[in-house]
């Protein structure tokens, strides 16, 4: 098996064996599909990612986009890769066939995207921004906006951006200042500056569709006075042909630690007072519309983080299998050949930890994607509603946990390589730098944690959290009564922690309504780590339960695969969950450590 085919195998295990994705084919929307069809799509995606995305990953890091005389130049391979992606149908994979899509389930689409993230995260970002942008236009746009902007985005002819951050307004989006003034013809004139705009300019697509947050003249202050605008680089005529260059200009690019293959730009609107924008959705409700895209982006950042970790894990595994160094303890024959480092227990430990984090992160992201399918197509209104609540609760976890722990996996991949690990001549150092952006962009992990503990957990009197615990308990009931003693032992360990976190969370929710609120929220980041570990521990238990069921009649590679799943689940539950339990104890004390600390003490 080729090194990276391991991802494909894991995707299929998760999709079908763990998350029963073929059941979706029983739903009206997906009845034309089959497991075989899904697999064909994934196989094609794998081939495209290997052929068009992977080969220049390193080159696009080394030779960053350049900016001069107002123009951003990116590598030509990006255009070729995106064309192959469009040929695959990826831009519209999950759209309805009537919109020109393949009408695939969201989780299958995300599984395919996982392959692209693992092979070239920067180029994949051009695509995912475009896909997420087209989703916003399809959801909130007029018929004409759908036709003029979303359709060319779905075919990959136009690429998209999301334009939120301003120099003085990052996490505090309510403070953006970009203005939009109504013109007589129903359009708007925008003026302002945005930064960290990925793919804010380039010449690899016919047009660029910026989705820009701005304020109308009568806007109330804060987040409730923000509207969303379509601002094309080239104006689009009513027949879809391109008109003049709009008054949008890149004034600089930001030089990032990683993710260098896509330009991060500073974009000016209206330097000549004629930047034309089109209101998307209702006035003053732009942030709500944009959250459609942001939630999707947050989920895909989790996926990207998982796959950056996954790619490095596989590289370090390959390296460990082929790098001779040292001997087995007890071997006194100094002339004997060196063994490959994969045989050293400490290297095994680092590989096992990576596997636990990256396959756990991928499982978490695919679980979220599978929930998104339930939001859209589950059998009953109640099921759809519950799926939505649960996905909303988990979105910050899906973003933050892989960003933290799969970066940790990248750290370990470098350790496995030793000195080669930090050398740019080898692949893992880039993957580490790429992943370092993930705990920040699309909302820092701190912001995700506040969203989780301050908003999502208490929402609906804790109903979403209750759904999560119910889902976990359901697995626990199944696995503790099963015939597999190892799995039962894992279930018992997880169960103890689940009961404790349920109780503690209830106390924390209560405390949010007291004067201890600030103290509770000052522990949001620690709470995030605990919840993340519990959810990933649960998903590892589910993987272990499936592996235990299937392993009986298997031999060879198949059997090793399941043994690997069982062993890794046991690692995560035995070694990692106790650390989460210790964090839960610490945060439960509600020490005013952080709130009481004075600036002058630092």
Q: Which of residues 499-518 bind its own copies (CB under 8 A)?
A: 517-518
The catalytic position among 429, 442, 529, 576 is 442
What's the CA gap between 59 and 75, in Å, rounded?
9
253 strand-pairing partners = 265
Name which of 243 and 510 has its Cβ closer to its own copies: 510
Judged by CB under 8 A, the chain residues 114 through 153 that form the site for its own copies are none
Lookup: tokens for 241? 């042909």
Residues 81 and 120: beta-carbon distance below 8 Å: yes
Per-residue binder mask for its own copies (CB under 8 A), 234-273, x = binder: --------------------xxxxx---------------
CB of 171 to its own copies, least distance (A): 6
Instruction: Give how many residues touch its own copies by CB under 8 A.
Output: 97
Per-residue b or e along 187-215, where b marks 16 or more CB atoms closer than 10 Å to that residue's CB:
bbbbbbbbbbbbbbbbebbebbbbbbbbb
Name which of 379 and 578 has its Cβ closer to its own copies.
578
CB of 375 to its own copies, least distance (A): 30
Please choose, out of 184-192, 227-235, 371-379, 416-424, the segment that lies near its own copies by the rule CB under 8 A. Answer: 416-424
Binding to its own copies (CB under 8 A) within 349-388 occurs at 349-352, 355
Element (H, E) at 311: helix 286-322
Query: Nearest approach, Cβ of 220 to its own copies (angstroms)?
Result: 8
Q: Please, which of residues 78-107 interact with its own copies by CB under 8 A?
A: none
Identity of the residue, 270 or 439, whose beta carbon is nearer to its own copies in the bound complex: 439
The site map against its own copies for 424-463 (x = CB under 8 A) is: xx---x--xx--xx-xxx--xxx--xx-------------
Whichever of 202 and 355 has its CB closer to its own copies, that residue is 355
The secondary element (H helix, E strand) that includes residue 161 is: strand 158-163
Residues 170-229 that bind its own copies (CB under 8 A): 170-172, 174-175, 195-196, 220-222
Distance CA(202)–CA(206), nearest Å, equals 10
Whole-angstrom CA distances from 346 to 404, 437, 467, 566 are 22, 28, 39, 20
Q: Which is nearer to its own copies, 31 or 424 (CB)?
A: 424
Q: Which is nearer to its own copies, 84 or 317 (CB)?
A: 317
The one segment of 10-18, 155-163, 410-418, 467-475 that binds its own copies by CB under 8 A: 410-418
442 is catalytic: yes
Residue 190, sorted as left (phi over 0), alpha (psi -120 to 50) or beta, turns out to be: beta
CB of 19 to its own copies, least distance (A): 22
Q: Chain-centre distance of CA 551, in angstroms?
A: 31
The whole-angstrom distance between residue 402's C-alpha and the CA centroid of its chain comes to: 8
For the bound state, the minimum distance from the C-beta of residue 80 to its own copies, rounded and expressed in Å, comes to 27
Q: Which of 34, 66, 97, 168 binds its own copies (CB under 8 A)?
A: 168
- Here the tokens at position 507 are 């106390």
Query: C-beta of 487: minimal distance to its own copies in Å?
Result: 16
Stretch that binds its own copies, among 93-101, 290-298, 346-354, 361-369 (CB under 8 A): 346-354
Q: E strand or H helix at 530, and its extent?
A: helix 524-550
| Nearest distance from C-beta of residue 151 to its own copies, angstroms | 32
State yes or no: residue 338 binds its own copies (CB under 8 A). yes
Crossing angle of the two packed helices 524-550 and 345-377, in degrees rounded to 10: 90
Query: Whose CA is closest to 295, among 361, 228, 372, 218?
Result: 372
Part in contact with its own copies (CB under 8 A); list of ranges 7-15, 163-171, 300-308, 475-483: 163-171
- What is the C-alpha separation between 352 and 358, in angstroms, rounded? 10
- Distance in Å, CB of 545 to its own copies, minimum: 17
Question: Minimum distance from CB of 245 to its own copies (Å)?
Answer: 28
Binding pattern for the stretch 315-334 against its own copies, x by CB under 8 A and - elsewhere: --x---x--xxxx-x----x
By C-beta, is 152 or 192 nearer to its own copies?
192
Contact stretch for its own copies (CB under 8 A) within 88-96, 375-383, 414-422, 533-541: 414-422
Least Å distance, CB 167 to its own copies, is 10
Residue keyed to tokens 């999709």: 15
Burial degree of 444 (CB within 10 A; 0-12, 13-18, 19+): middle
Q: CB–CB of 560/532 below 8 Å?
A: no
Give 500-507's long-range contacts (Cβ < 8 A, gap of 24+): 500/581, 500/584, 501/530, 501/531, 501/534, 501/584, 502/469, 504/584, 504/587, 504/588, 505/457, 505/462, 505/465, 506/462, 507/588
Q: Which of residues 38 and 67 has its CB atom nearest to its own copies in the complex? A: 67
Q: Which of residues 255 and 513 has its CB atom nearest to its own copies in the complex?
A: 255
CB neighbours of 575 closer than 8 A, spacing ≥ 6? none
The conformational region for residue 187 under phi > 0 = left, psi -120 to 50 = alpha, else beta, is beta
Q: Choose between 16 and 420: whose C-beta lies nearer to its own copies.
A: 420
Structure tokens at 77: 């391979």
269, 189 contact by CB (below 8 A):
no
CA-CA distance, 52 to 375, in Å (whole number)? Answer: 33
Integer angstrom CA distances of residue 247 from 190, 193, 244, 265, 371: 9, 12, 9, 16, 41
According to CB under 8 A, which one of 58, 251, 415, 480 is a site residue for its own copies? 415
Site for its own copies in 516-575 (CB under 8 A): 517-518, 521-522, 524-525, 557, 560, 563-564, 567-568, 570-571, 574-575
Q: Which residues are catalytic?
A: 442
């Amino acid at each position: 098996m080729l090194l990276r085919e391991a991802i494909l195998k894991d995707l299929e295990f998760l999709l079908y064996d763990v998350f029963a994705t073929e059941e979706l084919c029983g739903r009206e929307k997906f009845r034309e599909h089959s497991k075989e069809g899904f697999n064909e799509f994934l196989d094609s995606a794998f081939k495209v990612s290997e052929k068009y995305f992977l080969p220049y990953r390193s080159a696009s890091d080394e030779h960053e986009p350049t900016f001069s005389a107002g123009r951003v130049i990116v590598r030509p391979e990006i255009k070729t890769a995106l064309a192959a992606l469009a040929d695959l149908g990826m831009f519209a994979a999950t759209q309805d066939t009537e919109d020109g899509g393949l009408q695939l389930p969201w989780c299958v689409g995300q599984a395919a995207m996982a392959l692209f993230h693992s092979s070239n995260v920067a180029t994949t970002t051009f695509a995912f921004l475009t896909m997420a942008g087209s989703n916003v236009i399809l959801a909130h746009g007029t018929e004409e906006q759908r036709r003029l902007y979303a359709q060319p985005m779905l075919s990959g002819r136009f690429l998209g951006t999301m334009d939120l951050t301003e120099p003085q307004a990052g996490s505090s989006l309510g403070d953006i200042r970009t203005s939009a003034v109504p013109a007589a013809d129903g359009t708007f004139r925008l003026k302002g500056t945005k930064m960290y705009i990925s793919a804010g300019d380039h010449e690899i697509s016919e047009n660029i569709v910026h989705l820009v947050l701005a304020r109308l003249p009568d806007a109330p202050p804060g987040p409730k006075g923000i509207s969303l605008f379509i601002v094309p680089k080239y104006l689009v005529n009513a027949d879809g042909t391109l008109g003049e260059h709009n008054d949008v200009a890149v004034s600089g690019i930001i030089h990032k630690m990683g993710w260098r293959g896509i330009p991060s730009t500073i974009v000016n609107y209206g330097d000549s007072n004629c930047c034309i924008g089109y209101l998307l959705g209702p006035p003053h409700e732009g942030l709500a519309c944009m959250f459609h895209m942001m939630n999707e982006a947050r989920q895909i950042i989790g996926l990207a983080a998982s796959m950056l970790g996954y790619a490095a894990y596989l590289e370090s595994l390959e390296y460990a299998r082929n790098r001779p160094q040292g001997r087995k303890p007890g071997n006194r024959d100094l002339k004997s050949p060196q063994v490959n480092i994969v045989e050293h227990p400490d290297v095994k430990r680092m590989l096992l930890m990576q596997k636990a984090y990256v396959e756990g992160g991928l499982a978490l992201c695919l679980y979220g994607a599978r929930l998104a399918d339930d939001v859209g197509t589950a059998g009953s209104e109640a099921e759809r509603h519950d799926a939505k609540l649960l996905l909303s609760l988990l979105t910050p976890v899906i973003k933050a946990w892989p960003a933290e722990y799969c970066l940790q996996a990248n750290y370990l991949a470098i350790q496995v390589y030793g000195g080669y690990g930090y050398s740019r001549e080898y692949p893992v150092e880039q993957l580490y730098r790429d992943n370092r952006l993930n705990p920040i962009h699309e909302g820092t992990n701190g912001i995700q944690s506040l969203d989780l503990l301050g908003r999502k957990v208490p929402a609906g009197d804790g109903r979403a959290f209750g759904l999560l615990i119910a889902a976990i308990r359901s697995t626990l009931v199944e696995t503790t009564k099963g015939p597999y003693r190892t799995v039962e032992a894992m279930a018992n360990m997880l169960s103890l922690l689940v009961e404790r976190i349920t109780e503690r969370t209830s106390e924390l929710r209560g405390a949010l309504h007291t004067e201890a609120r600030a103290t509770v929220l000052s522990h949001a980041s620690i709470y995030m780590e605990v919840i993340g570990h519990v959810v990933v521990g649960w998903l590892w238990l589910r993987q272990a339960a499936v592996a235990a069921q299937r392993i009986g009649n298997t031999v060879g590679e198949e059997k090793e695969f399941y043994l690997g799943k069982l062993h890794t689940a046991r690692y995560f539950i035995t070694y990692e969950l106790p650390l989460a339990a210790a964090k839960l104890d610490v945060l439960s004390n509600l020490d005013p450590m952080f709130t009481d600390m004075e600036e002058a003490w630092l």
